């Protein structure tokens, strides 16, 4: 039997496994004891990944914030960014009841705002990275430490603009979007060099590619904004012997070749209809031996379906993706997220994990 650490290493390096890895993201609702039993079970029975913030070495953005009441349910947080060329503002609605919030307005609303943003100097990085080695020692054979790089360049820019404005500007102001993405690529390259110089790694994680997938964007935009600016970052990591996990929801069938080109080592999730547009068997055929697939049990099913159905889904997933005994981390598509429903989800998670650990699916 492999340790969890070795099993994940082999997943990220596309090597043969004793069994699929099994994992869950852990962004639980805050202060919710209904998830205590699940947390203990995941800690004892799954492969573990500990996130370590690789973005912590840039100085804080020059922002000020204020909060104002909106209703009985929401407060508005207004953030003002101070740049050499002027101020930019964005607003966010925060729930008063622990529910998800929502963006209301964005920093970049058009070309003039983009030019203002570009007046910001690139950050100078500094700080002590000793906590990485400590985290790696603590997790030991139970898993790996994954360096969180945050949004990829295009995802970062889309967060500044909002999806709709970004999409419109690909038609009206494509050149300025490229300037924004290039600036953020350089910032990420500087961050990765800073980390690699201090022997941080080898596992890194990035997200944001989902802003450029169908139906809002086609393969040309995916290649022009994701592949163009992600590949130099991943090449730098790969040249140092590192591996990169990419998180991307949505319809990825027509852009899977882009993930191969930019160099993703692990891709989470890979969603079948109606949430996505590709089946596990199709995803495996497209990336066999080159990308490890992480998923793909829909998070809603972990609350709604009976445990027996989760066992069947997990068994079918393993049969479809693990035929070569490589490249599968069984996982839900997102963290457990419904407040107060931890005990509802627990037997479903247990069913998924037990199916992997006891090898029921491998005997199909």
Q: Which two tokens stand for residue 128?
A: 């002590």
- Cα distance between residue 179 and residue 113, in whole Å: 13
pTM across the whole model: 0.95
Domain coordinates in residue numbering, the chain: 4-59+123-363, 60-107
- Angstrom distance (rounded) from CA 137 to CA 156: 32
Query: How are the residues of the chain apportioned to helix, strand and coil, as percentages rounded to the nearest 5?
Result: 45, 20, 35
The residue-averaged pLDDT of 104-128 equals 97
Examine residue 238 and say whether the peptide bond preceding it is cis (omega within 30 degrees of 0): no
* Beta-strand relationship, 74-83 and 328-332: unpaired
**Residue 241 φ then ψ, to 5°:** 85, 15
- 205-209: average pLDDT: 98
Span 70-92, average pLDDT: 97
pLDDT at 81: 97
Band (pLDDT 50/70/90 cuts) for residue 97 is confident
Per-residue pLDDT band at 364 (split at 50, 70, 90): very low
**Is residue 333 pLDDT above 80, yes or no?**
yes
Domain at 4-59+123-363, CATH class: alpha beta
Please identify which residue in the block is written with the tokens 């107060």: 340
Q: Rounded to an integer, what distance in angstroms lies between the CA atom of residue 142 and that of residue 316?
A: 26
């Amino acid at each position: 039997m492999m340790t969890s650490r070795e099993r994940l290493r082999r997943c990220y390096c596309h090597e043969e496994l004793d069994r699929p890895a099994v994992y869950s993201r852990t962004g639980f609702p805050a202060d919710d004891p209904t998830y205590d039993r699940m947390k203990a079970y995941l800690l004892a029975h799954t492969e573990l990944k500990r996130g370590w913030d690789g973005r912590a070495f840039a100085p804080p953005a020059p922002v000020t914030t204020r909060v104002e009441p909106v209703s009985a349910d929401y407060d508005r947080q207004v953030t003002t960014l101070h740049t050499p060329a002027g101020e930019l503002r964005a607003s966010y609605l925060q729930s008063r009841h622990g529910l998800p919030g929502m963006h209301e307005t964005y920093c970049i609303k058009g070309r003039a705002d983009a030019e203002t943003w570009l007046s910001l100097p690139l950050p100078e990085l500094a700080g002590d990275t000793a906590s990485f080695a400590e985290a790696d020692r603590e997790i030991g054979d139970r898993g790996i430490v994954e360096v969180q790089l945050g949004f990829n360049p295009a995802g970062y820019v889309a967060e500044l603009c909002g999806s709709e404005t970004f999409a419109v500007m690909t038609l009206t102001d494509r050149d300025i979007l490229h300037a924004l993405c290039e600036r953020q690529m350089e910032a990420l390259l500087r961050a990765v060099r800073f980390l690699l110089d201090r022997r941080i790694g080898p596992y890194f994680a990035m997200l944001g590619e989902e802003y450029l997938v169908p139906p809002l964007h086609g393969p040309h935009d995916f290649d022009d904004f994701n592949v163009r600016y992600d590949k130099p970052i991943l090449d730098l990591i790969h040249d140092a012997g590192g591996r990169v996990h990419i998180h991307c929801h949505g319809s990825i069938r027509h852009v899977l070749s882009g993930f191969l080109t930019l160099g993703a080592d692990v891709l989470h999730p890979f969603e079948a209809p109606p949430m996505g547009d590709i089946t596990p068997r199709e995803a495996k055929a497209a990336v066999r031996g080159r990308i490890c697939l992480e998923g793909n049990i829909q998070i809603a099913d972990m609350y709604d379906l009976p445990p027996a159905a989760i066992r069947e889904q997990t068994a079918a997933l393993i049969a479809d993706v693990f035929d070569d005994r490589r490249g599968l981390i069984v996982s839900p598509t997102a963290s457990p997220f419904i407040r107060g429903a931890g005990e509802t989800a627990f037997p479903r998670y247990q069913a998924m994990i037990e199916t992997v650990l006891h090898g029921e699916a491998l005997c199909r």
